[in-house]
Amino acid sequence: MVHVFSESGEFSPAVAQNRSRKMREILSSALDLACEGGLDNLTLHALAARMGRSVAAVYRYYPSKEAVVRELQRLVATHIRLISADTAGRIDAWSAGQGLREGARALALLIGAAQTYELFAQDAPAEFGLVTHYLGNARYGLPERDAQAVFEVAREALGMLAADIAAAQATGAITPGDAQERTLMHWGALQGVIQLLKFTRRGGAWGLAESLPDTTMRALLAGWGADTAVVGELADAIRTKKLASAERQVRDLLHETETNESEAP
């Protein structure tokens, strides 16, 4: 899959394809700058200098810093959705091979989603921070139109999680409840703990660190009525077998494959 921009404009197929390719090239350099120094390090002037182009050349494709940030955040949000779907696919295959019952499979999907998010934050902290830190930072906000373009992508990933929670409720693996509310609790708990790790890894909060995301998710599922022993066994197996480990990188979305090229209009 290759990144699809939120605003493609009215162009002929050939022009649109060429324009998208150039926009991805610029976005790749923007990703480098943002990962090196955060969004504060990202300006159109710095981006033009990094690419050896004029500011006008960059402006032709991205009329503002906010437009670049919007696409960076959509890029990362898309990546999170894709690696979450990858994990779900691996867990489905593993569950079938193990002959797991529907309830256990449903719990495995929720655990896998949590571990996927945790591992992405651990393995790609700079990219992770682009979409999570800045969207939740009151001092930095995108214009409403740009923010909505990001939220539309993020909601796709949350929608997948909500469906898995609803399925777990339907099987009796967890107690009945509001699936959308629990989705936000699931994401919010993980997000808070992951941010807390920055503090605990430096010796704060009694030095607890690496086990916090896992412990938090186990407690959350237990609070929703899940069998703690089953949750523990599934969580250990998913981590040991690396079913939630990403096999793709954010930057992969910026590179066309032969399939992408052949499918282009």
The three-state (H, E, C) secondary structure of the chain, written as one string: CCCCCCCCCCCCHHHHHHHHHHHHHHHHHHHHHHHHHCHHHCCHHHHHHHHCCCHHHHHCCCCCHHHHHHHHHHHHHHHHHHHHHHHHHHHHHHHHHHCCCHHHHHHHHHHHHHHHHHHHHHHCHHHHHHHHCCCCCCCCCCCHHHHHHHHHHHHHHHHHHHHHHHHHHHHCCCCCCCHHHHHHHHHHHHHHHHHHHHHHCCCCHHHCCCCHHHHHHHHHHHHCCCCHHHHHHHHHHHHHCCCCCCCCCHHHHHCCCHHHHHHCC
Total-model pTM: 0.86
CATH of domain 9-63: 1.10.10.60
The more confident residue out of 263 and 177 is 177
CATH classification number, 65-246, choose in 3.40.50.720, 3.60.20.10, 3.40.47.10, 1.10.357.10? 1.10.357.10
**What whole-number percentage of the chain has pLDDT above 70?**
83
The more confident residue out of 211 and 25 is 25
What is the pLDDT averaged over residues 27-32? 95
pLDDT level of residue 39 (50, 70, 90 thresholds): confident
Q: Could you give the CA distance from residue 158 to residue 113 in angstroms, rounded to a whole number?
A: 10
- Among 85-99, 115-129, 246-260, name the one with the lowest average pLDDT: 246-260
Asked whether residue 164 carries a pLDDT value surpassing 50, the answer given is: yes
Domain positions in the chain = 9-63, 65-246
pLDDT the model gives residue 211 = 84
pLDDT level of residue 212 (50, 70, 90 thresholds): confident
Best mean pLDDT range from 97-106, 140-149, 152-161 = 97-106
Asked whether residue 176 carries a pLDDT value surpassing 60, the answer given is: yes
pLDDT the model gives residue 264 = 36
pLDDT, tens digit, 9 for 90 and up, residues 45-90: 999 999 999 999 999 999 999 999 999 999 999 999 999 999 999 9
Asked whether residue 203 carries a pLDDT value surpassing 70, the answer given is: no
What is the pLDDT averaged over residues 175-199? 90
The more confident residue out of 132 and 169 is 169
pLDDT the model gives residue 139 = 59
